[in-house]
């Protein structure tokens, strides 16, 4: 949705705000200039005591209109306000850690901006004055905006300078990018298991009587107590049954049993997934993840899958809707060094992810300690 040329990877479809806002600042100036001029006193947010004004928001939104579709949508306007808040927080964080920008840096930055240069790359005061007149600013105001822009860039640069990627990390990421896995899985649903073990799950009248006698809290309504308690006891037996099945099958797994052997014990339907890369969700042959949600959410799935021999059974994965087993049927992953033509691309991607992670970690910590109030509604 939000396109950015910044080297920082996108999170949730949006680029890192530090870089994203910088593009707007360079082209249009800091969105706070309206409030600096005293043209509006309405407040849309307060960030650690610092106000963000409504006209600032409108100008920031209108500047984005040419770059982003549906800029008036509620979710986009909410993101714009959050962007302005994050920009303020970033400046406050810069002040906290002592980042400062010199006057010489500000002047040099302005003189080197393409929109203030002629066709031969020479700075023209006339172009700067035209810009200031167009946006109703004076030079000190614009200096203040550029200072904030450079301050924010300095934070990102500080993070970038402290970030690195090793050759081993590139090799591992290259292996992940080019991996191809596929599994065969067996799923026995609760419905199937209850039908198969109906005899073991049956609850007698005497069991219901005993439960009502031993647990007086269950006595609530004579008309419904017995059926409710019977259902509760059936559910309890079923959960115990699932645990017993899992223990028995895991014993087979521990001695290296084949997938075919454990499937006989579990029962259920056997299917094959589509091929997938490490880190991608496992999908059924129909391209859906629904029935495989438990496998996808299993914390050790990838590590266990890579460790298993092809055809060998996994442990049981116990889910709210049934029991799962799987075996790898294809494992293509090579830890050979990345070719020279791919090395730079992989390295750059990892580097940007690290910068992104450090930035968000820093800002999240700062946000958690900040006082932020939003007063704007999006109807």
Burial class of residue 165 in the structure, from the number of CB atoms within 10 Å of its CB (0-12 exposed, 13-18 middle, 19+ buried): middle
Let me know whether 131 and 193 are in one domain. no
Distance CA 131, CA 182 (A): 59
Let me know whether 207 and 265 are in one domain. yes
Q: pLDDT tens for residues 127-171? A: 999 999 987 888 998 998 899 899 989 988 999 999 999 999 999
Let me know whether 61 and 160 are in one domain. yes
- Domain assignment present for residue 279? The answer is yes
Let me know whether 36 and 115 are in one domain. yes
- Domain assignment present for residue 9? The answer is no
- Nearest alpha-carbon partner for 23 in 58, 55, 73, 68: 68
- Domain assignment present for residue 11? The answer is no
Let me know whether 206 and 277 are in one domain. yes
| Exposure string for 204-236, b = 16+ CB within 10 A, e = fewer | eeeebeebeeeeeeeeeeeeeebeebbeebbee
Let me know whether 215 and 288 are in one domain. yes
pLDDT at position 210 is 87
pLDDT at position 41 is 54
Three-state SS for 109? helix
- Domain assignment present for residue 31? The answer is yes
Let me know whether 114 and 237 are in one domain. no
Q: pLDDT tens for residues 207-236? A: 888 888 887 776 777 677 788 888 999 999
Distance CA 324, CA 305 (A): 14
Which parts of the chain register pLDDT below 50?
A: 1-40
Let me know whether 246 and 154 are in one domain. no
- Domain assignment present for residue 1? The answer is no
Let me know whether 144 and 31 are in one domain. yes
pLDDT at position 190 is 95
Half-sphere exposure of 90 (CA within 13 A, CB side): 27
Residue 180 carries which DSSP code? E
Neighbours of 300 (CB within 10 A): 11
Q: Element (H or E) spanning 332, and its range? A: strand 322-332
- Domain assignment present for residue 302? The answer is yes
pLDDT at position 14 is 37
Is this prediction's pTM over 0.75? no
CATH code, 21: 1.10.4030.10
Let me know whether 252 and 357 are in one domain. no
Q: Which residue has the tokens 């994965």?
A: 317
Domain residue limits at 29: 17-165+342-374
Query: How many domains does the structure of the chain reveal?
Result: 2
pLDDT at position 379 is 63
Phi, psi angles (nearest 5°) of residue 45: -165, 155
Let me know whether 224 and 368 are in one domain. no
- Nearest alpha-carbon partner for 363 in 39, 4, 94: 94
pLDDT at position 222 is 66
Let me know whether 270 and 360 are in one domain. no
- Domain assignment present for residue 12? The answer is no
- Domain assignment present for residue 2? The answer is no
Distance CA 73, CA 80 (A): 11
């Amino acid at each position: 949705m939000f396109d950015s040329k910044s080297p920082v990877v996108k999170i949730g479809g949006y680029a890192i705000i530090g870089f994203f806002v910088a593009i707007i600042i360079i082209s249009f100036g800091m969105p706070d200039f309206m409030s600096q001029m005293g043209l509006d006193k309405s407040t849309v947010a307060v960030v650690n005591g610092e106000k963000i004004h409504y006209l600032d928001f409108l100008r920031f939104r209108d500047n984005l209109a040419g770059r982003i579709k549906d800029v008036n949508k509620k979710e986009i306007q909410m993101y714009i306000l959050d962007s302005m808040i994050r920009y303020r927080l970033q400046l406050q964080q810069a002040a906290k850690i002592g980042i400062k920008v010199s006057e010489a840096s500000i002047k040099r930055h302005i003189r080197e901006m393409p929109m203030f240069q002629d066709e031969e790359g020479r700075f023209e005061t006339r172009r700067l004055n035209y810009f200031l007149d167009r946006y109703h600013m004076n030079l000190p105001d614009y200096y203040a905006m550029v200072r904030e822009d450079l301050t924010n860039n300095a934070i990102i640069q500080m993070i970038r300078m402290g970030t690195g990627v090793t050759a081993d990390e590139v090799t591992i990421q290259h292996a992940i990018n080019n991996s191809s896995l596929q599994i065969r899985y067996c799923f026995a649903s609760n419905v199937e298991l209850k039908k198969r073990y109906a005899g073991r799950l049956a609850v007698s009248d005497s069991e219901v009587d005993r439960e009502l006698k031993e647990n007086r809290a269950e006595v609530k309504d004579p008309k419904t107590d017995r059926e409710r308690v019977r259902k509760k006891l059936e559910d309890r037996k079923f959960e115990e049954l699932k645990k017993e099945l899992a223990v028995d099958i895991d014993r087979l797994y521990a001695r290296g049993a084949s997938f075919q052997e454990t499937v006989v014990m579990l029962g259920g339907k056997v299917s094959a997934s589509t091929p997938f890369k490490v880190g991608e969700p496992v999908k059924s042959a129909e391209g859906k993840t629904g029935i495989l949600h438990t496998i996808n959410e299993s914390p050790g799935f990838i590590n266990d899958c890579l460790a298993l021999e092809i055809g060998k059974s996994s442990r049981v994965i116990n889910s709210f809707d049934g029991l799962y087993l799987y075996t790898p049927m294809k494992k293509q992953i090579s830890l050979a060094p990345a070719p020279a033509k791919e090395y730079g691309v992989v390295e750059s991607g990892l580097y940007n992810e690290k910068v992104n992670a450090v930035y968000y970690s820093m800002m999240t910590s700062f946000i958690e300690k900040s006082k932020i109030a939003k007063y704007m509604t999006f109807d």
